[in-house]
Amino acid sequence: LRNPHAHGGGHGHGGAGSFGHSSAGLGDITVGGLYKIYDTDCHRLHLNLGLVLPVAEVDKKEHGAFLPYGMQPGSGTWDLKPGITYLGQAANLSWGAQAIAIFRLEDENDSGFSYGDNVNVTAWVAHPICDAVSVSARLNFIYSDSIDGHYNGPHGHVAPPHFQANYGGHILEGGLGVNVMFKNGHRLAIESLVPLAQDANGVGMDREFGVVVGWQKAF
């Protein structure tokens, strides 16, 4: 059921009940490059620098009211995305680490708010079990600030996703994965992730378990 108080000429306030929303759209575009600063047979280190172009929508509405902040397809701000990546390799083992950040370059977007800065640090180790298959283990840490600003139009105030302070927090995850190489450059990667520690800002749902599936094609 839709909450009838989540739209109209001002903020929505309502009592108990259920409601639902849906949103779809293309996200922002990131352009970037890598700069190699160290390269040997066993170790590589390079810098990442990206710029996020705010091409996606940040004004998705339902019944005339903005959808919850997290349901907007884009950030609506120009964002800087720097990082650093290290890769190591031995005969039967590979490992690496990466740190990537997102810094918002504007105080607010056209809808009146900006997402918080974000930092993602991950480290992994992988071991081949045959020519085409390898297994991996990974630690992944994510930190996000809460949202700054406020919608500049009608929006709901009836559930945790409607409040800026309920976004952000940090989580540490452990992951186990398998990578399968196929002919012609195809690669399938499957990873399961389990939270080891987490703390959400405000009122938020804890993450219990996740599965990531990826398919790559090298040209």
Read off the pLDDT of residues 184-206 as tens digits, 9 standing for 90 and up.
889 999 999 999 999 999 887 78
Domain count, the chain: 1
Read off the pLDDT of residues 105-145 as tens digits, 9 standing for 90 and up.
999 999 999 999 999 999 999 999 998 999 999 999 999 99
Read off the pLDDT of residues 204-218 as tens digits, 9 standing for 90 and up.
778 889 999 999 887
| Domain presence at residue 15 | no
Read off the pLDDT of residues 135-180 as tens digits, 9 standing for 90 and up.
999 999 999 999 999 999 988 888 888 899 899 999 999 999 999 9
Of all residues in the chain, the percent with pLDDT exceeding 70 is 90
**What does the pLDDT read at residue 19?**
55
Question: In 10 A of CB 64, how many CB atoms?
Answer: 12
| Domain presence at residue 23 | no
| Domain presence at residue 17 | no
Entry pTM: 0.82
| Domain presence at residue 138 | yes
List the helix and strand counts (H, then E) for the chain: 0, 13
At 67, which CATH number? 2.40.160.40
Full residue range of the structural domain in which residue 102 is found: 29-217
Amino acid at site 156:
G
DSSP-derived secondary structure for 74-127: S--S-EEEEEEEEEEE-SS-EEEEEEEEEEESSS--TTSEEPPPEEEEEEEEEE
| Domain presence at residue 1 | no
| Domain presence at residue 88 | yes
**What does the pLDDT read at residue 62?**
86
Amino acid at site 143:
Y
| Whether residue 9 has pLDDT greater than 50 | no
Read off the pLDDT of residues 66-82 as tens digits, 9 standing for 90 and up.
999 988 999 999 999 99
